[in-house]
Every structure is written in structure tokens, then in C-alpha cells.
A and B are shown apart, each in its own frame.
Chain A
Amino acid sequence: MELENKIVELKNISMKYHTLKKETLVINKLNLDVYNQEFVTIVGPSGCGKSTILSIISGLIKPTEGEVNINGKHLRSINNQTAYMLQKDYLFDWRNIQQNVLLGLEIKKKVTEKNKKYTIKLLKKYGLEKFLDCYPHQLSGGMRQKVALIRTLAINPRILLLDEPFSAFDYQTRIAISEEIRQIIKKEKKTAILVSHDISEAISLSDRIIIMTNRPSRVKRVLEIKFDDQTFNYEQKLKDKKFNKYFDIIWNGLNDDE
């Protein structure tokens, strides 16, 4: 890691969900730091509250206990530094691509000429300029997810929260689109926190992997991912011998019960 400043800091986070029948402790005293421009992936058994962690970082939900600091500041409500990317693209089919991409700016009432230009520039840079006036149903799944990424980037957040954004694709598309999106995120110098249940995706995309325990979850293990060549792409990483080593560590980490 070149940059050592903490951008996200979770301190002793606990989260309880209440239903009429019972109370469930989902997250138990979780501590997690994410550094600037880092790509971190959270993996864990299903139901361990991975998505909840993202919602807490975004400010959509408040943790029952604990403290969230974004960029050194205590988080109180929805924060302007984070933006979400979800499992599906959730583009609005009554808006064309340009209008879809500007959604976030519109909501924040920040549709200025400058911001608009920045957004169009992003669309151009990543090969979507031809589709400005098209509607989402005219685009392929991969392109739609790319549009969704640019919609997130348009509000110029520092942290991207990725909630299994590639899981809806078939294997080959998934590799291509996730590699592409990782590169865009790196190029735009963003910090990314990805939630995934796909181990190979986690290894190939991240700088660091956080392995969670079963519910009530906390951090079980943190794994630094370092390939010999920094410029390896997804495919090259898959074929590297280190890949299997990392895979085993995560696999065992997810499966053995403490």
C-alpha cells in the first residue's frame, strides 16, 4: 500500500436486528480499517452481515453500538463520500443512459455544467458515449453494469461500496466485467469495498481480503493479496501458483469452525 491514511474506520461495531419473535446479533464488536485507494473484499458465510457492513459505512443504517469514522470524521447520516453499486444495475428504464448516469447529481441538486461534463467524459472514456441517448434495454448486461458504475462515479465519491455487483453474470462475462470495473476504479483512484461470496473474484480483484466468521460475525482473518507482478489481470492471476495458495487459505478460513 502506497498510501497509509485510513479512510474508513469501524470501531467496535455491533448490530442487532429485532423481530417480534427475537433479537438477532448479526455483527459482534467488529473492527475494520480501510485505507485510501485500497480494494478490500469482505468474504464470509451467508447471513454474516456482509451487506449490513456496507449499509453501515454508507450511513443508510445506524449500528446498534460502535463508531464509524469516514476520513477521520464521525459519521452521522448518509455520507457524501460513499456510493453504492448493487447486485443488479437498477438503471431506470424510463430514463436514457445520460439521464440515468446523472441521477445521483440530480438528487443532490448538483447538476452543474462542470459535473455534467465530468460525467460525459467518464462515459466517453469507458466506451459508452455512443449510447448516451439509448435506453437501458438496448444495452447488454455488462454495459449496463458499467453504466451503473459511472452513475456511482458521477457524484465523485471517494469510496465505492460494491455489493456483489458481478454475481448476476455468467462466469466469462463476470471475469471480463469485473476486471474492467477494477481497472476503472484504480484509474479513478477510488477506494473500493466489495462484498462477495466468490473466492476467486475476491483474490483477483482485491488488495486485501477480510474473512468473516459465522453470525454473530467479526473479523476472523485478514489476508494481504500480493502477486509477483502488479500488472497481472484477472486471468493471469487465476493461472498463477499463488492463486491456489490464497484460495486454500480463504476456503479453510470459511469452512473450519472455531
Chain B
Amino acid sequence: MTMNKNNCEFFCCSKEHLDFLKLQKRKTNFIKLLQSIVFVSGVCLWEIASRLNFIDSFLVSSPSRILKTIIELNNSHELWENIGCTVSETILGFLFGTILGILIAIVIWWSPLICKVSQPYLVVFNALPKVALGPIIIAWIGANIFSIIIMALLVSVIISIINILSGFQNVDREKTMLMKSFGSNKLQILTKLVFPANVPTIVSTLKINVGMSLIGVITGEFLISNKGIGYLIVYGGQIFKLDLVMAGIIILGIIASILYMGVSKLESIYVLRKK
């Protein structure tokens, strides 16, 4: 490749290359087609099976009943209110969790002593299911939105610390030595080497954290239950209206993928800018 000639790379466009591209394109299209077939046939089978009473539609619901529930929710304005609630809680928990995670990782990286002392606590806190802390948080903060955000924060913060810290510690020792040989202090090593070198780590932590903080939010809503998709699901379960539960799960799936795609988009913008 003639990379040094210019900043841009040239693709040759011979017939063979075009054929190759076409073949690749066909392969991806084929996979997309299969994915759609699985989805459509799954939905159809589900619907048919429940219409013909092969399965108990009271227990497993059906696509049409789920759709009907969602439309009803929409008409009574409950749908968007609950979605907005869950999404905003997730985003807040996610932002605070990540920012706090980065700050704590910096502190631990800065001081080898703090690093060694905190090690066992990090291990225990990481292994501990954070749901168990739910009652304590509610007792301390009260049954409100803040408890839910704290829950989301707790679920995402530890994993952020561990990921980002290991990224910080894996920076080439020689690069650090190079910095030191120029006479740099610790702050300069952080701002000019360790942090910029770990922007990709932080971005990939964001991706994990979206999912994590959604877990935190839903658990929080399960416990505190007055609004949000988690509330809808628990409520549906309590009154044995499984259509509502299923609808909640489907909405949750859509929210989760949209949030994840949002962060992926951020990542690709970052990558593009770097190029």
C-alpha cells in the first residue's frame, strides 16, 4: 500500500475487485435476510399458536395482544411518561457512574498505596450483587428517583473503575519512562499520556455501562415501583396481566438497543474524527 504518498488511500477498481465487493455485499444481505426471516416467522408462529390455542395466550400472551397493550398505553399517555422516566434515569446513572468511575480510577492510579489498600474492597464490591444494597439505599435516600439513579450508578461504577484502571495500568512502561526522561511530573503523565491513551478504553466502558445502568434502573424500579418500565413489568406481574409484562419487556429491549446504538454512534464519531 502506498500510505506515505498521501493522506488518503486509493482503491484500485479492477473488475476482480468489483466482483469481490459484490460478493461481500451479497453475503451481508443474505445474513440480513435470514435474520428477518427468523424474526417474522417467530412472531407469526407465536401469533398462530396462540390464536389456535396451541399455547395458553393468557400465560404467554401474543404479538397482537402485546401490540394492543402498547397502543392502549400510548393512548392513555402512560407509555411515553414511563419510557421517559426509565431512559432519563438510565442516562443520569450512566453519566454519573462513568464520571465517578473515571475519577476514582485516576485517584487509585495516582497513588500506588491507595491502589494496594483498595484492592480487596474493589474485589468484594465487584462480586457483590448490588441489588442487595437496594433496601439500604431506600432507607437512606427514600423511595424516590434518586434511589434509582444511585442504584444505576452503583451497578456501573465498579465495573468502570476496574476497566479504566486496568487500562491506565497497562500503558506501556517505556512510554512512561520516555515521559519521565523528558522530566515530566505525574500530572503531565496523566494528561499527556495515560488519559489520551485510554480514551478508547473509556469509550468501550461507556458501551458496557449503558447496559449496566439499565440493569440498575430496572432493579430500582422493581424495588420502588411508582413509575418507569420496570414498574410496568412488576405491576403487570402483580395483577397477572402478562400482556403488560411482555409489552414492558419488548419496550425495554427496544430502549436498550437504542441506547446501545447511541453509544456506538458516539464511538464511531470518535474513531472517524481520529482518522
In the complex formed, the residue of B with least CB distance to A131 is B4
A residues near B175, Cβ cutoff 8 Å: 90, 92
Which of chain B's residues have a CB closer than 8 A to the CB of A104? 182
Residue of A nearest to B188 (CB): A107
Give the residues in chain A near B193, CB-CB below 8 Å.
Answer: 92
Q: Does A86 lie within 8 Å of B274, measured CB to CB?
A: no
Selected from A60, A82, A103, the residue in CB contact (under 8 A) with B180 is A60
Q: Are B183 and A88 in contact (CB under 8 A)?
A: no
Give the size category of B's interface with A.
Answer: 20 to 34
Distance of B222 from chain A, by nearest CB (Å): 42
User: Within residues 99 to 152 of chain A, which ones have a CB less than 8 A from any CB in chain B?
Assistant: 103-104, 106-108, 131, 133-135, 138-140, 143
A155 within 8 Å of B by Cβ? yes
Secondary structure of the A contact surface, majority rule: loop
**Cβ of A131: which chain B residues have Cβ within 8 Å of it?**
4
Instruction: Please measure, in the bound complex, the distance between the C-alpha atom of A143 and the C-alpha atom of B3, giving whole angstroms.
Output: 12
Q: A60-B177, A86-B174, A138-B3 are in contact. Are A108 and B182 (CB under 8 A)?
A: yes
Q: How far is the CA of A131 from the CA of B3 in the complex (A)?
A: 11
Neighbouring A residues of B174 by C-beta, 8 Å: 86-88, 90
Interface residue? B106 (CB, 8 A): no
Measured between beta carbons, the chain A residues less than 8 angstroms from B7 are: 133-134, 138
Chain A residues near B4 (CB, 8 Å)? 131, 138-140, 143
Instruction: Report the minimum CB–CB distance from A159 to chain B (whole Å).
Output: 12
Query: CA separation between A134 and B275, bound complex, in Å?
Result: 10
Decide: B3 and A58 in contact? CB cutoff 8 A.
no
Check: A171 CB closer than 8 A to any chain B CB: no
Name A94's contact: one of B3, B182, B196 (CB within 8 Å).
Answer: B196
CB-nearest residue of chain B relative to A134? Answer: B7
- Taking the nearest CB of chain B, how far is it from the CB of A190, in angstroms? 15
Q: Known A90-B174, A94-B274; judge A83-B180 contact (CB<8 A).
A: no
Q: Is B196 touching A58 in the complex (CB atoms < 8 A)?
A: no
Using CB atoms, name the residue of chain B closest to A85: B178
Within B168-204, the residues touching A (CB, 8 Å) are 172, 174-175, 177-184, 188, 192-193, 196-197, 199
Q: A84's contact among B172, B177, B274, by CB below 8 Å, is which?
A: B177
Task: Determine if B182 and A155 form an interchain contact, defined as CB atoms under 8 angstroms apart.
Answer: yes
A78-B178 contact, Cβ under 8 Å, with A106-B192, A143-B4: no
Whether, in the assembled complex, A80 has its beta carbon less than 8 Å from a beta carbon of chain B, the answer is: yes
Beyond A90-B172, A138-B3, whether A108 also contacts B183 by CB under 8 A is yes
Q: Which of B3, B172, B183, B274 lies at the interface centre, i.e. has the most chain A CB atoms within 10 A of its CB?
A: B183
Contacts of B184 in A (CB 8 A): 107
Could you tell me the distance in whole angstroms from the C-beta of A177 to the nearest C-beta in chain B? 15
Residues of B within 8 A of A140 (CB): 3-4
- How far apart are the CA atoms of A78 and B184 in the complex, in Å? 10
CB distance from A77 to the nearest CB of B (A): 8
Quick check: B192 and A58 within 8 Å, CB to CB? no
Could you say which residues of chain B place their CB within 8 Å of the CB of A87? 174
Residues facing B in A1-32 (CB within 8 A) are none
Taking a contact as CB atoms closer than 8 A, the residue among A107, A138, A139, A161 that contacts B182 in the complex is A107
Chain B interface (Cβ within 8 Å of chain A)?
3-4, 7, 172, 174-175, 177-184, 188, 192-193, 196-197, 199, 274
9 residue pairs from A and B, CB less than 8 Å apart: A60-B180, A86-B177, A88-B174, A90-B178, A92-B175, A92-B196, A94-B197, A138-B3, A139-B4
Since A84-B181, A86-B177, A90-B174 are in contact, a sample of 10 more A-B pairs with Cβ atoms closer than 8 Å, ordered by chain A residue number, is A80-B183, A103-B192, A104-B182, A107-B184, A108-B183, A139-B3, A140-B3, A140-B4, A155-B182, A161-B181
